[in-house]
Every structure is written in structure tokens, then in C-alpha cells.
């Protein structure tokens, strides 16, 4: 079952996104499936209409998966970084062309960023999701089904 976040819960997610990435506002509803998966919905259905529809029709999900709550942080999906790209102002890691190929094939990046936590990964004007920075690397979260195949 999907839970539509109330205004207070939405503000908490927005505050986390603001702290992490400079995002000011989510322009729609935030829905949660399970304990951590967040979906963004900006359609014409009201909260009541969504609940009524879910009560009578089996719906897998409403909206687009845009983030996951991990502890006190929020990790944006590839779609999430694109939905919010005009608001993301900080914790951005810009790839060069060599790093782009590594990233898109699912490899962690062996770089020292001086940061810890989630970074938005970007190549030129393209947002490519989030990675998790540690002292020695940026961990890659691209699902296997979305990775480029390695040349070989």
C-alpha cells in the first residue's frame, strides 16, 4: 500500500534534500512505498482520488520513483536528479569523459572528493543519479539493468 506523505512529512524530506543538495521544494505529492522508497506525483488526481482508486483497483504504484530514504539521508534516483535538476545547487560531482564511461558501466570512481555522503553525478548538462562519496571513492548505484555493457 502506498502512503501519501502529509505536509509535515513532506517538509522533512524537503529539508533533507535542501541540506544535501540545495533543493527548495518538491512540486507535487510525495508517496512512500515500504519504509524507504519515495515516489513523486504531479498529476491531476487529488489525494482522496488516489486513495479511492487504490481501494478498488490493484495499483502497483502511483508516480515516478525519485528517491530512497537511507538513514537520515535521501538518495535521489536517476529520475529524481532529472526532476529536480533546476534546483540542485550543491554536492554535485562533474564527470570527465573517462569517468563517464566508468560510471555508466557501473564502476565505482576511485577519486578523493573531500566529501562524504551522497553526491549528484553529472556529465555536462546530464544528471546521472547519485553516488556515495567516501574518502577514497564514489560508490555507484546504477542498477545492472541500466548500465552500459563494457567493451570487450
Each residue of 36-95: pLDDT tens digit? 999 999 988 888 888 888 788 877 778 899 999 999 899 999 999 999 999 999 999 999
* CATH of 91-152 among 2.30.130.60, 2.60.40.10, 3.40.50.1100, 1.10.630.10: 2.30.130.60
Given this model, what pLDDT does residue 152 score?
Answer: 61
For the cut 70, the answer to whether the pLDDT of residue 1 exceeds it is: no
Tens digit of each residue's pLDDT (9 = 90 or more) over 128-139:
999 999 989 999
Residue 39 pairs in a beta bridge with: 31, 65
Residue ranges, comma separated, of all CATH 3.10.450 domains in the chain are 1-90
- Lookup result for grid cell 495499483: 59
User: Which residue intervals of 23-132 are DSSP H helices?
Assistant: 47-56, 78-83, 97-104
pTM of the entire predicted model: 0.89
User: Which residue intervals of 1-152 are DSSP H helices?
Assistant: 7-21, 47-56, 78-83, 97-104
Indicate the CATH number for domain 1-90: 3.10.450
Residue ranges, comma separated, of all CATH 2.30.130.60 domains in the chain are 91-152
Over residues 114-135, mean pLDDT: 96
Tens digit of each residue's pLDDT (9 = 90 or more) over 96-111:
999 999 999 999 999 9
Amino acid at each position: 500500500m502506498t502512503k501519501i506523505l502529509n505536509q509535515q512529512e513532506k517538509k522533512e524530506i524537503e529539508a533533507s534534500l535542501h541540506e544535501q543538495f540545495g533543493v527548495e521544494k518538491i512540486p507535487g505529492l510525495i508517496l512512500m512505498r515500504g519504509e524507504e522508497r519515495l515516489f513523486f506525483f504531479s498529476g491531476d488526481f487529488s489525494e482522496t482520488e488516489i486513495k479511492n482508486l487504490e481501494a478498488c483497483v490493484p495499483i502497483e504504484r502511483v508516480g515516478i520513483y525519485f528517491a530512497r530514504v537511507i538513514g537520515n539521508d535521501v538518495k535521489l534516483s536517476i529520475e529524481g536528479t532529472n526532476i529536480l535538476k533546476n534546483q540542485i545547487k550543491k554536492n554535485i560531482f562533474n564527470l570527465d569523459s573517462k569517468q563517464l564511461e566508468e560510471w555508466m558501466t557501473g564502476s565505482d570512481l576511485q577519486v578523493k572528493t573531500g566529501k562524504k555522503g551522497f553526491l549528484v553525478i553529472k556529465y555536462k548538462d546530464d544528471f546521472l543519479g547519485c553516488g556515495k562519496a567516501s574518502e577514497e571513492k564514489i560508490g555507484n548505484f546504477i542498477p545492472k539493468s541500466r548500465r552500459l555493457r563494457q567493451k570487450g
